[in-house]
């Protein structure tokens, strides 16, 4: 970290963080930033300062992808090798950039290939110098459908407090504070807002449970899940980079609805530039937040930390395994306090809903569906980017009318759903509508809203192998079926394992997937087999060709 400022001493770093809430991650980052790696000496000091067993701390630190353990390691380039970046030359970049290592999807599939060097978030194109480009704004919605989260995001100056207020910001918080908690929760319930991070849990029900847990004066916590680790998802990045006050206002309204006085924004490591944007916005909003204390905590690279209980363990400085549920975070969350963990998009939806009313928001959906959903669209389509769609919009309308369809002379053969977690839909499914009932009927789900498009030049077995290898890499290893199952499926898709007889091969792949989906402890192990299931169902010819080649 070359800078003219004197390097802080160990004692100064420790004194700054030791007594703060959730101190482990910021303290580790402070040493990592100062020394460009985490030395054994630094780990010993942190363990001593926070009274953590050194062996436990070592296990936790090495679980994360991005804490470098060798001198200078923090500045070595990390190149995204997610599904879209693999089609955009990330392998060549890995060869061209000295000391580069691959990292899982870094959430810039609309403008690939992201490369992180130290705390710089750059874009790489093979054969060209790395470029510094701001997060692309969403293009104006070509369908003319009314938006909620994106309605004002393109307004110049929106990321500043003045610009945010000038475009209607903080009116929702003002209105919320004039309401009782019950009135506010009733309004949100009537809007139909459900979680946008993947599981779709009704937001009002979650907040009511937090409000009702424990005694009236017990501490409560709001956590914004900004981990956005799902490959193909980059909608939370655009919200935080261009509309940070919307997220903060949503959190402040959540605090009012539940009685919470402490909040965390848990930000993924791979958005280094976003931390400064959020911290500046929190500082600007300090007077508006009143008693609500809001802190940013930066992760260190682990997809599983997006799972809410794993995130809470990470925040608390524990090993970030998912917790057994129940109890749920609404009663036993951060430091055992009742906690609402909500996605960035969910929280950013709240201020306009409160300001404009439940009927307005509910009416944005098509047919019987309520509200909107942000979709991160990428891959083999002419206009990738973030789109805010009315829930219930036909997938074909999004792909062809809004995003311009496939490239000249190509045909869409598959799209992923929920990033990678929803597996594939095929060309025959393009008449689906973007809502959970329809997509679940097709064996998939909308989840966080990442859709990656693959045209007819792509080898779908290879795409599936890469997807499964991501899940194998990111499986936290806590439970056997997921830890082993993702590895076994990756080997089979790579053509290096499994029965010689094609029928037996298929049966075995389905059996492994079935076991994983039935007994895995969290959503990663439950969802990963959707990749192989949908591959077998949609692309039997490509699977046959793969088997014949072994
Ligand atoms: C493996 C895994 C990864 C997840 N990653 C994220 C994530 O990056 N961001 C997110 O908001 N939710 C993620 N979730 C869902 C969270 O556990 C949780 O449901 C969500 O943050 C709740 O917020 P919401 O109700 O606003 O959607 C993930 C779940 C699983 C199982
Ligand atoms: S399902 Fe996978 S990621 Fe989830 S707890 Fe088990 S091993 Fe960890």
Task: Give the per-residue pLDDT at 3.
Answer: 58
Instruction: Tell me how far apart the 2 most distant CA atoms of the chain are, in Å.
Output: 69
Q: What is the pLDDT of residues 124-141, one digit of tens each?
A: 999 999 999 999 999 888
Query: How much is the pTM?
Result: 0.97
CA of 320 to the centre of ligand 2 (A): 11
In the three-class reduction of DSSP (H, G, I as helix; E, B as strand; rest coil), residue 486 is classed as helix
Model pLDDT, residue 229:
97
Rounded to whole angstroms, the Cα distance separating 364 from 374 reads 13
State how far the Cα of 20 lies from the Cα of 361, in Å rounded to an integer.
38
| pLDDT tens digits, 314-357 | 999 999 999 999 999 999 999 999 999 999 999 999 999 999 99
Distant-in-sequence, close-in-space partners of 549: CB < 8 Å, separation ≥ 6 = 495
Q: How far is Cα 203 from Cα 201, in angstroms, rounded to an integer?
A: 6
Coil vs helix vs strand at 35: helix
For residue 297, the SS3 value is strand
Is there a contact between 505 and 499 (Cβ–Cβ < 8 Å)? yes
Helix/strand/coil percent split, the chain, to 5: 45, 15, 40
Distance of CA 327 to the CA centre of its chain: 23
- Ligand 2 contacts CB of residue 522 (under 6 A): yes
Any atom of ligand 2 within 6 Å of the Cβ of 521 = yes
Residues 6+ apart with CB under 8 A from 96: 126, 127
Question: What number of residues does the chain have?
Answer: 550
**In the numeric block, which tokens belong to residue 539?**
């692309």
Q: What is the DSSP letter of 144?
A: -
3-state DSSP assignment of residue 90: helix
CA atoms in the 13 A half-sphere facing the CB of 89: 13
Nearest-atom index, ligand 1, CA of 228: 8
pLDDT of residue 6: 85
In this prediction, residue 214 carries a pLDDT of 85
384, 455 Cβ separation under 8 angstroms: no
Contact (Cβ atoms closer than 8 angstroms) between residue 253 and residue 350: yes
Q: Give the atom of ligand 1 at the shortest distance from the alpha carbon of 345.
A: 26
Ligand 2 pocket member 481 (CB < 6 A): no
304 lines ligand 1 (CB under 6 A): yes
478 CA: nearest ligand 2 atom: 7
- Specify the residue with its C-alpha closest to ligand 2, atom 1: 525
Question: Under DSSP, is residue 107 helix (H, G, I), strand (E, B) or coil?
Answer: coil
pLDDT along the chain (550 residues), means of 10: 76 95 98 97 97 97 97 97 96 96 96 96 96 94 92 97 98 98 98 97 98 94 98 98 98 98 98 97 97 98 98 97 97 98 98 98 97 98 97 97 96 98 96 97 97 98 98 97 98 93 97 98 97 98 93
Name every residue whose Cβ is closer than 8 Å to that of residue 1 and which is 6 or more positions away in sequence: 33, 34, 36, 74, 118, 119
57, two tokens: 């701390």
By alpha-carbon position, which residue is closest to atom 23 of ligand 1? 342
Q: pLDDT at position 22, please?
A: 98
Q: How many CB atoms lie within 10 A of CB 547?
A: 19
125 in Cβ contact with 113 (< 8 Å): yes
Distance from residue 333's CA to the centre of ligand 1 (Å): 14
Closest-CA residue, ligand 1 atom 22, reads 342
Going by alpha carbons, the residue nearest to atom 6 of ligand 2 is 479
Quote the tokens at residue 516: 């994983």
Cα–chain center distance at 112: 17
pLDDT at 422: 97
CB of 67 within 8 A of CB of 61? yes
Judge if the beta carbon of residue 302 lies within 6 A of ligand 2: no
């Amino acid at each position: 970290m070359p800078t003219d400022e004197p390097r802080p001493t160990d004692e100064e770093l420790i004194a700054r963080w030791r007594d703060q809430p959730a101190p482990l991650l910021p303290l580790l980052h402070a040493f990592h930033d100062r020394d460009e790696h985490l030395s054994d000496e630094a780990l010993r000091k942190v363990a001593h300062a926070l009274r953590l067993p050194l062996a436990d701390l070592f296990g936790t630190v090495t679980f994360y992808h991005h804490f470098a353990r060798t001198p200078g390691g923090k500045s070595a380039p990390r190149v995204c090798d997610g599904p879209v970046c693999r089609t955009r030359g990330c392998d060549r970049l890995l060869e061209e950039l000295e000391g580069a290592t691959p990292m899982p999807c870094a959430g810039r599939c609309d403008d690939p290939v992201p490369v992180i060097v130290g705390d710089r978030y750059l874009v790489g194109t093979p054969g060209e110098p790395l470029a510094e480009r701001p997060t692309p704004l969403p293009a104006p919605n070509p369908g003319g459908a009314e938006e909620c989260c994106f309605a004002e995001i393109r307004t110049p100056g929106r990321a500043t407090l003045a610009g945010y207020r000038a475009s209607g910001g903080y009116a929702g918080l003002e209105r919320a504070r004039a309401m009782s908690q019950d009135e506010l929760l009733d309004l949100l319930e009537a809007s139909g807002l459900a979680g946008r991070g993947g599981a779709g849990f009704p937001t009002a029900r979650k907040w009511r449970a937090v409000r009702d847990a424990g005694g009236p004066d017990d501490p409560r916590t709001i956590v914004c899940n900004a981990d956005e680790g799902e490959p193909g998802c980059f909608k939370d990045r655009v919200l935080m980079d261009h509309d940070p006050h919307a997220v903060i206002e949503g959190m402040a309204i959540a605090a009012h609805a539940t009685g919470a006085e402490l909040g965390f924004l848990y930000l993924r490591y791979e958005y280094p530039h976003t931390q400064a944007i959020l911290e500046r916005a929190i500082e600007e909003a300090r007077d508006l937040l009143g008693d609500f204390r809001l802190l940013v905590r930066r992760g260190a690279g682990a997809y599983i930390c997006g799972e809410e209980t794993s995130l809470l363990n990470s925040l608390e400085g524990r090993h970030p395994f998912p917790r057994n549920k129940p109890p749920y975070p609404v009663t036993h969350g951060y430091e055992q306090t009742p906690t609402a963990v909500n996605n960035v998009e969910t929280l950013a939806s709240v201020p306009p809903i409160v300001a404009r009313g439940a009927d307005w928001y509910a009416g944005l959906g098509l047919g019987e569906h309520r509200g909107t959903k942000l979709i991160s669209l990428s891959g083999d389509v002419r206009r990738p980017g973030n789109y805010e769609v009315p829930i219930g919009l036909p997938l074909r309308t999004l792909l062809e009318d809004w995003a311009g369809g496939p490239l000249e002379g190509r045909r869409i053969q598959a799209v992923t759903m929920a990033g990678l977690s929803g597996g594939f839909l095929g060309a025959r499914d393009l008449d689906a509508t973007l809502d959970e009932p329809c997509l679940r009927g097709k064996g998939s789900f909308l989840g966080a809203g990442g859709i990656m498009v693959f045209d007819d030049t792509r080898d779908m077995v290879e795409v599936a192998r890469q997807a499964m290898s991501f899940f194998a890499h990111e499986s936290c290893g806590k439970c056997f079926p997921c830890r082993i199952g993702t590895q076994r499926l990756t080997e089979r898709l790579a053509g290096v394992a499994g029965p010689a007889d094609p029928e037996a091969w298929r049966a075995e792949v389905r059996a492994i997937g079935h076991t994983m989906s039935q007994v895995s402890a969290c959503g990663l192990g439950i969802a990963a087999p959707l990749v192989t299931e949908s591959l077998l169902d949609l692309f039997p010819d490509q699977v046959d060709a793969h088997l014949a080649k072994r």
